[in-house]
Structure 1
Amino acid sequence: MNAVEIEEAISALAEMPFDGEEFPFAFLLAFGNKATTIKMLRKGARNKSDLGGVLQTNKIHLKVCTEGEVTNSVAELKASPATTKAKAKFVLATDGTDLEAEDLTTGETIACAYTDFPDHFGFFLPLAGISTVKQIRESAFDIKATGRLNRLYVELLKDNPEWGTAARRHDMNHFMARLIFCFFAEDTDIFTEPDQFTGTIERMSEKDSSNTHEVISELFRAMNTKADDRTAAGIARWANVFPYVNGGLFSGGTDVPRFSKIARSYLIHIGSLDWTKINPDIFGSMIQAVADDEERGALGMHYTSVPNILKVLNPLFLDDLREKLEDAGDNPRKLLNLRNRIAKIRVFDPACGSGNFLVIAYKEMRAIEAAINELRDEADRRTEIPITNFRGIELRDFPAEIARLALIIAEYQCDVTYRGQKEALAEFLPLDAQNWITCGNALRLDWLSICPPTGTGVKHHADDLFHSPLDQAQIDFENEGGETYICGNPPYLGSTWQSKEQKEDLQRIFDGRTTSWKSLDYVAGWFMKATDFGMHTKSSAAFVSTNSICQGQQVPILWPLIFQTGHEIAFAHTSFKWANLAAHNAGVTVAIIGISNHATQVRQLFSMIDDGEVVVKEAENINAYLVAAPIVSIEKRSKPLSAIHPMDRGNGPTDGGNLLLMGSEVVELSLTDREQKKFIRPFFGSVEFIRGINRFCLWIKDQDAEAARGNPAVQRRIEAVREMRLASSKAATRAGAKFPHRFDEKRQEGGETVIAVPRVSSENRQFLPCGFLPPESIVSDSAFALYDAPIWNMALIASRLHLVWIATVCGKLKTDFRYSNTMGWNTFPVPKLTEKNKEDLTRCAEDILLAREAHFPATIADLYDPEKMPADLRAAHDRNDETLERIYIGRRFRNDTERLEKLFELYTKMTTKDLNKPNSRMKA
């Protein structure tokens, strides 16, 4: 369950008549517990309460008490030995009138009327596995309002299915935007009376809802008609009290979907919420899922927290403004210059969604401007920051409408905060008709026309704000010479997941620049468009991105194109999880990358350490791998850069599964002991090696093929391989049908010692899995192998140094490490090793193998589980790391950042010397 679903369930529970016996179970059910869990608690099998309540291990101890005993009951629950033994995180007591609870981890408490406890639902969200509790509490209203609006939206479409068609979807979305404005306006004195909109609907519409749509339509018509024109327009007297709003929000058609009794009830219930609590920077990103059929299942999870957004905006430009404010002190001239500068700043989000980046940028700039006005004794001064300076592009029309509405609401809220309610109201209505959010495909639009760097743009001629043309939404800037900051969280989409249209988007941008654009993530298009924008004007840009554009094969494709335009990386946040509001959601791993064509000499590199703390490193340069090191693109190499053993891929059977066998299938072949020894080999790919799965293969040498065919079962398998290869559309595979007894891609003879390295392995392991295979093993092409290599090579692969190199330069498959011999092993910079160095590393590798052997039959998966790793194995790896790192710098590295800096420094030196060597590199 997500936060919206939980809030709805808790609200429904609070609205029902209180049932003391049922409350604990209904409460737990609302937080996502399965019916089977509730059944077990009812029976008492899992209920360990010693106070006649309900106790769920590791979660909560609840008790329904007699009237007036709530506080005492909470104390009893806290003191209960059962609470301690079960490691309960919460205690809760209620008598149906009052409710009190305590978080035993933090000591935080709540006390409220029973009917009000849904307002505190965020307090209990750890029960549902949701960890972003602080942000949810701060946006509790937005979650509640999103859920209510979704219920209304779904109910209206049920009775008005035509409004859900492509032809009328825009009308439906526009209708919802109007409703949101009216709910906000009636609670913030924009309308002259409290609950004016909801109250009028409740009074003037029939209880059977037969004329609800007519009443709402007349209200919309009034808000679109100037006072002087209302008599001629025949506006109803009861609607005449509403102000003229227009600005495009109420212009155009006033058609309204028909309401059922349920829909009318939902609408009135939504109006009863306190819309003064709306957070436009958060609300929009939640509500956008309401109007999207595919996203409605993830309702409320489209949440971008303010702290995460500020990770983009602060180093992009807000930190600089705050520093200038501090430097100005109380100097009137400096303060005036800063205010004038702020008024000319353009913030442009070319993937703006519902506008949260733009809204937060606006609110933060208004706060700085207010501080300037306070210092200049001009606190009542009208803002000089126009919301039309906050421009965006959004592909879908509903989020685009919500973005405009969110900025309008943010402007009003800031005016109330910094100038007072009276001044805010005096200047708020009517809304103007300027349009500053474009609805269209950002990768196909001309950013310079939408956010021109000068004040010479063409005025936008549309007569309303909320019906913009798809190609352009433009008005003149009155701020010649202002700065432009591009920001946002564009869609990521790796190459595998891109639609035909999205691939065409990238082709339009990159065709003629690189032939390898098909390998790029979709987000790369926004970076390239930002640099194209910067070629025409001084600008800076920062995007949230998948970290994969800073890893592996994408780096030498994308980043040289960016750097050659004069842009550099001005700041970056290295990889961190960007989570949403779903329970147990791990989030996507992202990076934040800021680029500029006028970067300062000091660059900032932000990294998150294990406890969640962010550390900042100042550097002279940040390269495309987000390391404080020289700019370099790691390209595939056919041979190792360092004096290490060559690594090759394993063997590819291309056999339709006929040369591969499980143990039972080996038995079914009825081979003699001699035949089994000659034709059957242990077979290891990544999975078999890591999980200890016994698998085998037919490994038949050419000279033994005729003898092998003498076994009917073997002959059937060989013939099946031949038929499978002949049926292939690939010429090379068909050619392999001549030798169906052997692997199609054969890279070993079968008698070598083999150090195996899986191609894909979990990011959770602190060391890359690698090791020796049993004698005469065959390694599959799902792994890499070093054949007959000295054992000290394994010490390199098993090191932390090598893991951070692989994680950085090879990229990942989803979040797992993706190994590459040409990109990861052949590029790995290793200092020249003495014989003593090799002896020391050999001993370290042997110690690792012996520690593993001591825990037989534990598998690699068992041994390298980070929570269960044996102490002796961990100690062996620590000794290996210390031995290797002393070879590099004479001591242990302090952290991974230092490791990468040293590796890139060494790589740069080695490749500079290596440039004139033939056949050393492969093109990526």
Structure 2
Amino acid sequence: MLFSKTWADACNEDSQAKPFWIDFFEIFGITNKRVATFELNVKKLGGAQGFVDLFWPGVLLVEHKSRGKSLDDAVDQAIGYLHNLPERDLPQLVVVCDFARFRVRRLATGETVEFELKHLHKHVKLFGLLAGYKVQDIRSEDPVNIKAAERMGRLHDALKASGYSGHALEVLLVRLLFCLFADDTGIFQPAQSFRDFVEERTAPDGSDLGPRLGQLFQVLNTHESQRSKNIDEQLGQFAYINGRLFEETLPMADFSTAMREALLDACALDWSAISPAIFGSLFQSIMDEKARRNLGAHYTSEANILKLIKPLFLDELHAEFERVKGHRNKLFEFHKKLRQLTFFDPACGCGNFLVISYRELRELELKVLRADHELSAHKGQLTVDVHGLIGVNVDQFFGIEIEEFPAQIAQVALWLVDHQMNLRVSVEFGLYFARIPLKSTPQIRHANALQLDWNDVLPAERCSYVLGNPPFLGYSYQSKDQKADLAAVMQGIHGAGVLDFVCGWYILAGRYCQGNQTHAAFVSTNSITQGEHVAVLWGEMQRLGMHIHFAHRTFQWSNEAKGNAAVHCVIVGFGHENQVVKTIYEYEDIKGLPLAVPVKNINPYLIDAPTVFLPKRREPICNVPQMTKGSQPTDGGNLLLEDAEKTELLVVEPQADKWIRPFLGADEFINNIQRWCLWLVDCPPNELRSMPEVMKRIQAVKAMRKSSTKLATIELSETPAIFGEIRQPAEGNYLLIPLHSSEARTYVPIGFCDASIVCGNANAMIPNAGLFHFGVMTSAMHNAFMRFTCGRLESRYRYSNTIVYNNYPWPGFSGEPLSDKHRTAIEQAAQCVLDARAQFASSSLADLYDPLTMPPALLKAHQKLDTAVDAAYQPSGGKKNYASDAERVAFLFDLYQRITSLLPALASKKKQKPKSAES
């Protein structure tokens, strides 16, 4: 208001424009006249020479006119100057003014605002960027995040190529990241101080940039009161940062002209728009040239992080706020509670989960301050003591990260989001608030989380929430050291050798949470809720007293970036407390949004059913035929023949024909692929020796087996003419079940085969099976049980006899025996399915069971079969109709408990059997 009154009568551009703008800058506390240049010589569009009235590179361009002159002409003149400015110097604001009127254009959006001098106070926020004080539009998917990482990547590469590498390079880049961010968010005053320092105080060839940066870092680490009285004025304006960020003395980096230009290009971005939530991951990826080629593919989207933190703590806190926001004392206690919460990510990486959690906690605190302000206003108190009331801080956040660079980034990212939220508070209440120098520090430990006692980072009794996204590595992908780390954690847990690497964090979290009120939640591959993992991992978690509080069933964990890797994940929230209200988040489409379903219990298969663990069983729990694995060649491909190979062999050795049989692996069975094998089980030695081409193949089998590192395979070299494991029935039919099948299919295709067709080890088989067994196994009921309990290969179903088939509760084995009526109905419906398939004899099972191409006649036959099987379960308590697979499986788990309660306790058997269909 004082500025408007002082300059109300000004009218002459020549004599009054310069003092007008010097006065204007002082509104924002900018007294250093060096920030902008008056009368800068610039070429206009077309090549003519012109003079910009006022220019602040990267921030502001002003064209000033005498009172009453056309602002339209002034705008055209100002825009004309932009064409010949370097990209990094393009201003964020273009302003034209005739003393009485302002017209302000935001260059990035084209938004234009015009107002009179007397109304400047109403529009002062337009110029907040002059002091790094502005409303921010921070979007995780904003391309500016990618652009920032790319520019820092160029600088990284240049430094590394010069010989500056390792720890020193990582720390230098982290410091530069902080300086770039501080330049645009008001930490450094005035705005663009760092850019101006580099541009004005270092030589164009970069020769002194390294020493000057070292000098700046020393200043940032020194309190103003302890700095030299002769310090350079431009250096002296930088605030003391503290936080130990600039404490370490680094080796001096040697810069070139190109490297200095790369740094200035990075300075030209608006770093206030950067999202700390994802930039940490992007920033980390610049250290890896391969990862950088796919920038944006490796970060975790905010939407996915919110899937974990909302049910873990955020939803409950927001609900509590809604209950207390109208009561001053309760609101005060709630605010105090927010300050006391602690968050711990024991595999924090670049801090994504901690950053989003901190931001959301600060957002909630802002709501508390707003509510408190409204309650105060009713009592005539119209101001808020922001400095005294903001309590939530970065020192409530803890993490462990095995790599040093991401650990440093996580710490800085938390400071950055802290300052972004401080600016939000400043805009909200009109009082500038910043935590500089840094006094509170996030506790990010650079260590191996599977070797470190987590209590050394944060004592369990002080921890509110454990959260994160630990590494997903399956057993075969783990390094030797990772296997050793996991084995140490799992010591004493039977069967732990099958577990995914992420299970180490679950077990340690269970031990950490045991006996206290800490709640935990992790993102994991869905393998931890399937197959062998369940009994091993969750059996131990149950022993530790853990209960599942909420769970997201399988969904696709990815982001919107091009080329990103999609992983099928679950989220499991757990703790020692057995909560009354539990929630399962169901996905109709794994790429879609979840539906929250309140449930009474969540078992380890993520079903509202009793907590049971399906053990690996050698025999079925019901009186049904045994399932076994197909025969395994272990031949290096030498006993197997493609169609062309069979033809070629028979041309030279036609007598081999009677020793060749059709061979079916899973792929051949599902896709109608013709394949053959040499089946020489009963071939007399003299006949075998009369076939030299066959003998060559046998010799190759012997050599392959003999060269193996496995003793059992070496022993098989003594009988090279036959398969390594033979389970083929001598006569009759058998039911073939492919061990792996696409997750897109509603029904896993199975079928009958003649014993003359050799079943390979990619399948399981049931000799002596009938239509009843085929009918039940190809029904919706059995397929639902399989989907929830089998393991997975990538996302494909991975059938197992020991986990799925042998634990499956068949109809008629609990309560009333299966009636002849129900058995006959199933057999008739099963035959209808086979008949429907026969109508399309030229189509493969892959064609028939693709949901997009499944013939209506086959679909109708399956639906009739599903009805018959469902009806057979009704005497045992089953429903006529089921709303979902989960509802079917919940019933089957209850039935499983009833059946197994009548069985003797499961005991290990010493008798060795051939390997089963378990995968």
TM-score (norm 2): 0.78
Partner of 1:457: none
Deviation at residue 747 of structure 1 after TM alignment = 1.1
Q: Secondary structure at the match of 2:633?
A: coil
Going from structure 1 to structure 2, the CA distance change for 1:858 and 1:230 (only over 3 Å counts) comes to: same
Change (3 A) 1:624 1:890: closer
Aligned to 1:76: none
Out of 346, 355, 375, which is 1:359 matched to? 355
Q: Matches of 1:726 and 1:154 in 2, distance apart?
A: 49
Equivalent of 2:734 in 750, 754, 759: 754
Judged with a 3 Å threshold, the aligned counterparts in structure 2 of structure 1 residues 606 and 200 are, in CA distance, closer, same or farther, namely same
**Counterpart secondary structure, 1:295:** helix
- Residue in structure 2 matching 1:563, options 542, 545, 556: 542
Indicate which of 368, 388, 395 corresponds to 1:388.
395
Amino acid corresponding to residue 702 of structure 1 in structure 2: D
8 Å Cα contact 1:190/1:425 also seen in 2: no
What is the one-letter code of the residue matched to 2:485? Answer: D
What SS does structure 1 have at the residue aligned with 2:811? coil
Residue 497 of structure 1: how far off its partner (Å): 0.6
Deviation string, structure 1 residues 405-460 (Cα, Å, up to 9, x no partner)? 11112222222222449987554211127451111111111111211246xxxxxx
Q: Which residue of 2 aligns with 1:61?
A: none
Q: Does 1:743 align with 2:711?
A: no
1:259 aligns to 2:255 (yes or no): yes
Structure 2 residue corresponding to 1:173, chosen from 158, 170, 176:
170
Structure 1 unmatched runs, 5+: 1-16, 18-111, 118-133, 455-481
Asked if 1:643 corresponds to 2:623, the answer is yes
| 1:722–1:400 distance in 2 versus 1, CA, 3 Å | closer
Which SS does the other structure have where 1:570 is aligned?
strand
Contact 2:737 2:749 in 1 (8 A): yes
1:596 correspondence with 2:575: yes
Cα distance change, pair 877–243 in 1 and its aligned pair in 2 (3 A) = same
1:856 pairs with one of 821, 833, 841: 841
Instruction: Tell me if 1:245 matches 2:241.
Output: yes
- 2:227 aligns to what SS in structure 1? helix
Structure 1 CA distance for aligned equivalents of residues 755 and 653 of structure 2: 17
User: Could you tell me which of 551, 576, 596 is aligned with 1:616?
Assistant: 596
Residue 340 of structure 1, CA deviation: 1.7
What whole-Å deviation, never above 9, does each CA across 1:77-131 have from its counterpart, x for those lacking one?
Answer: xxxxxxxxxxxxxxxxxxxxxxxxxxxxxxxxxxx999989xxxxxxxxxxxxxx
User: Per the alignment, in what secondary structure is the counterpart of residue 751 of structure 1?
Assistant: coil
CA distance in 2, matches of 1:178, 1:586: 31
**Corresponding position: 1:911 with 2:907:** no
Residue type at the aligned position of 1:592: I
Shift of 1:732: 4.2
Question: Alpha-carbon deviation of 1:851?
Answer: 2.5
Structure 1 Cα separation of the partners of residues 900 and 910 of structure 2:
10
The counterpart of 1:551, out of the listed 527, 530, 547, is 530
- Alpha-carbon distance in 2 for matches of 1:192, 1:726: 75
Tell me whether 1:535 sits opposite 2:514 in the alignment.
yes
For the residue of structure 1 that corresponds to 2:804, the secondary structure is helix
Q: Give the structure 2 partner of residue 316 of structure 1.
A: 312
Distance in 1 between the 2:138 and 2:673 partners?
Answer: 44
Find the counterpart in structure 2 of residue 471 from structure 1: none
2:859 matches 1:874: yes
- Worse-superposed segment, 412-421 or 778-787: 412-421
Q: Structure 2 residue aligned with 1:149, among 132, 149, 152?
A: 152
Name which of 192, 198, 207 aligns with 2:189: 192
1:764–1:136 CA distance, 2 compared to 1 (3 A): farther
Q: Tell me, what secondary structure is at the counterpart of 2:455?
A: helix
CA deviation after TM superposition for structure 1 residue 221, in Å: 2.3
- 8 Å Cα contact 1:380-1:418 kept in structure 2: no
The verdict on how the C-alpha distance between 1:661 and 1:136 changes in structure 2, with shifts beyond 3 A counting, is: farther
State the AA in 1 paired with 2:296.
G
Could you give the per-residue CA deviations for residues 375-428 of structure 1, whole angstroms, max 9, x where no partner exists?
233654431223111111111122111211111122222222224499875542
Question: 2:645: which partner in 1?
Answer: 665
Instruction: Return closer, same or farther for 1:810/1:532 CA change in 2, 3 Å cut-off.
Output: same
The 2-side partners of 1:503 and 1:707 are apart by: 50
Q: Answer whether contact 1:218 1:236 (CA < 8 A) is retained.
A: no
- From 371, 378, 389, the counterpart of 1:375: 371
In structure 2, the residue matched to 1:901 is 890
**Sequence identity, in percent?**
35
Q: CA deviation at 1:754?
A: 2.3
Could you report, residue by residue, the CA deviation over 1:309-358 in whole angstroms, capped at 9, with x for unpaired residues?
Answer: 11111111111111211222412222222122211111111111111211
Mapped to 1, the partners of 2:824 and 2:141 lie a distance apart of: 59
Code of the aligned partner of 2:276: P
Could you say which residue in structure 1 is the equivalent of 2:662? 682
Of 427, 449, 452, the match for 2:456: 449
Larger radius of gyration: 2
Change (3 A) 1:872 1:209: same
The offset of 1:839, in angstroms, is: 2.4
Q: Distance in 2 between matches of 1:438 and 1:426?
A: 29
Q: In 2, distance between residues paired with 1:913 and 1:635?
A: 16
Q: 1:725 to 1:231 in 2, by over 3 A?
A: closer
Q: Is the 8 A contact 2:423 2:434 kept in 1?
A: no
Pair 1:409 & 2:409 matched: no
What is the CA-CA distance between 1:760 and the residue it aligns to?
1.4
Q: Give the letter aligned to residue 409 of structure 1.
A: L
Q: Is the 8 A contact 1:638 1:919 kept in 2?
A: no
- Secondary structure in 2 aligned to 1:288? helix
CA offset digits 1:259-300 (Å, max 9, x no partner): 222222221122121122122222222222123456334432
Match of 2:336 among 311, 334, 340: 340
Match of 1:524 in 2: 503
Q: Equivalents in 2 of 1:718, 1:279: separation in Å?
A: 63
Please give the residue correspondences for 1:124-139 in structure 2 after superposition, counting only pairs within 5 Å. Answer: 138-139=141-142
Larger deviation: 676-685 or 240-249? 676-685
Q: 1:415 to 1:430 in 2, by over 3 A?
A: same
Q: Which residue of 1 aligns with 2:850?
A: 865
SS in 1 for 2:551: strand
Moved more, 248-257 or 781-790: 248-257
Q: Is the 8 A contact 2:294 2:563 kept in 1?
A: no
The answer to whether the 8 Å contact 2:472/2:501 transfers is yes
User: 2-side partners of 1:870 and 1:862: how far apart?
Assistant: 9
How many angstroms apart in 2 are the aligned matches of 1:922 and 1:341? Answer: 60
Equivalent position to 1:694, from 661, 674, 682 = 674
- Conserved 8 A contact 1:139-1:282: no
Question: What is the CA distance between 1:495 and its match in structure 2?
Answer: 0.8
2:447 counterpart residue number: 440
Q: Structure 1 189/298 Cα, relative in aligned 2: closer, same or farther at 3 Å? A: same
Matched, 1:578 2:557: yes
Residues 268, 718 of structure 1: alpha-carbon distance in 2 compared, 3 angstrom cutoff: closer
* 1:768 Cα deviation after fit: 0.7
1:627: which partner in 2? 607
Tell me which amino acid in the other structure corresponds to 1:283.
Answer: F
- Corresponding residue number in structure 2 for 1:500: 480
**Cα distance in 2 between the residues matched to 1:836 and 1:421:** 73
- In structure 2, distance between residues paired with 1:194 and 1:840: 80
Shift of 1:690: 1.6
Q: Distance in 1 between matches of 2:612 and 2:673?
A: 41
2:631/2:726 contact within 8 Å kept: yes
Residue by residue over 1:822-850, the C-alpha shift from the partner in whole angstroms, topping out at 9 and shown as x without a partner, is 21111111111333323222233322223
> Equivalent residue of 2:860, what SS?
helix
Displacement of 1:614? 1.3
| Kept in 1: contact 2:729–2:767 (CA 8 A) | no
Deviation per CA, 1:608-667, whole angstroms, max 9, x where unpaired? Answer: 113823112222211111111111110121121223322111112233333222233333
Q: Which moved more, 1:189-198 or 1:675-684?
A: 675-684
C-alpha displacement of 1:784: 0.8
Contact 1:380 1:419 in 2 (8 A): no
In the TM superposition, residue 606 of structure 1 has moved relative to its aligned partner by 0.8
* 1:824–1:237 distance in 2 versus 1, CA, 3 Å: same
Q: Does the 8 Å CA contact 1:344/1:483 hold for their aligned counterparts? A: no
Aligned residues: 764
- Give the conservation status (yes or no) of the 8 Å contact 1:602–1:618: yes
TM-score by length of 1: 0.78
